[in-house]
Amino acid sequence: MKFYTTMPGSLKPFFKQSLNDYATAMKNKDLTGAWNYLERAHVIGQCYPYHHSLVHWKMLVFGCRIKSVKEVIGQIPRLLIGGVKSFVGTVPVGNTGGANVPPMRRMPIQQEIKEIFAKAGVPLPQ
């Protein structure tokens, strides 16, 4: 079993850019775009406890902002256990993190995200 603690430095700029794009989309009231950036940040950061938990926190806040009871309720357990699952390397790779998908469902990683990992020189999560 591999224990994950910190995100590789070469991947951090891509994660940060996703969160910056999320913030910009929110300022522009582009809720669909904002959510897509959170999902991208989730897939990029899901193997790293701090980053994984941060995205779930932002998803919880997003759910509150759009007044989605389903999203808020769905994010609470993800926020509580997501970081632990990252630490011990048991995340469902590719899962986009929202309450609209089962929390343990593995999903295909989008080509755009595969390219991010390649540019960062970081192997795709297995």
H-type helices in the chain, by residue range?
Answer: 12-27, 31-45, 49-65, 69-87, 111-120
**Residue that is written with structure tokens 């790293």 in the block:** 48
Return the pLDDT at 2. 64
Q: From the CB of residue 101, how many other CB atoms can be counted at a distance below 10 Å?
A: 14
How large is the average pLDDT for residues 76-103?
92
> What separation, in Å, do the N-terminal and C-terminal C-alpha atoms of the chain show?
12
3-class SS of residue 9: coil
DSSP 8-state class, residue 7 = -
**Dihedral sign computed on CA atoms, order 82, 92, 11, 98:** negative
Residue-range domain boundaries for the chain: 12-120
pLDDT in tens, 1-29: 566 789 999 999 999 999 999 999 999 99
pLDDT in tens, 110-125: 999 999 999 999 999 8
